[in-house]
A and B are shown apart, each in its own frame.
Chain A
């Protein structure tokens, strides 16, 4: 079984659309994250959820909203997509600093 699974793997959409990326982990970890990796491969944290509570919200536009129905799921919803949102988005589950990443979602906004 995949430890951290996220879907879709590829997402191509037009500017202004709203889209969601789903993430699920079966590791039993309490903390999940969303990271954004830009074209220069720099990996930066966007959000963290611990026991369904948002504990980190970096300087991310409020068009991005994480949703966690339970501690095994952390979905990312993005409103009014912009060209600059194009990147690879990684979900991760973490315990004691050791993070396990999903396969990534390559988002392309056209």
Chain B
């Protein structure tokens, strides 16, 4: 099983809708989870981090973590065309003392005007 898995998409939503991005991770000692956004030709930028079960909200973004189901998601409310990008899910795994981020392959989001 891949360590961090995402559907590559593209996920297409109309402007103003809620975009839901999902990520699952392998059964390892996971520590922290992150969502990065990457515009085409640009570097990834951190948009959300979540460390404990439940929801975490920041503006139009909500991250949800369910460790029992090994599942983390990102909701984008009132989606805008400027949200069109690839969203990368990442996790840190502590079983080998590593703190490096392990990334999923990314989900491409397209917000249609």
Q: Give the chain A neighbours of B42 by CB distance below 8 A.
A: 103-104
| Inter-chain residue pair count (beta carbon < 8 A) | 54
| Contact in complex: B99, A104 (CB < 8 Å) | no
Looking at chain A's contact residues, the main secondary structure is strand
Tell me the chain A residues, 55-110 only, with Cβ under 8 Å from chain B. 56, 90, 94, 96-104
* Residues of A in contact with B (beta carbons under 8 Å apart): 31, 33, 40-45, 48, 56, 90, 94, 96-104
Query: Quick one: which of B36, B44, B46, B100 contacts A45, CB cutoff 8 A?
Result: B100
A45 & B102 in contact (Cβ 8 Å cutoff): yes
Complex interface: chain A residues within 8 A of B86 (CB): 41
Tell me the bound Cα distance from A38 to B100 in angstroms: 18
Query: Is A42's CB under 8 angstroms from B102's CB?
Result: no
Q: Binding site of B, secondary structure by majority: helix, strand, loop or mixed? A: strand
Alpha-carbon distance A40/B8, docked complex (angstroms):
10
> Which residue of A is nearest B88, CB measured?
A43
**B40: nearest residue on chain A (CB-CB)?**
A41
Partner of B100, one of A40, A56, A98, A102: A56
Question: Is A43 a contact of B99 with CB atoms below 8 Å?
Answer: no
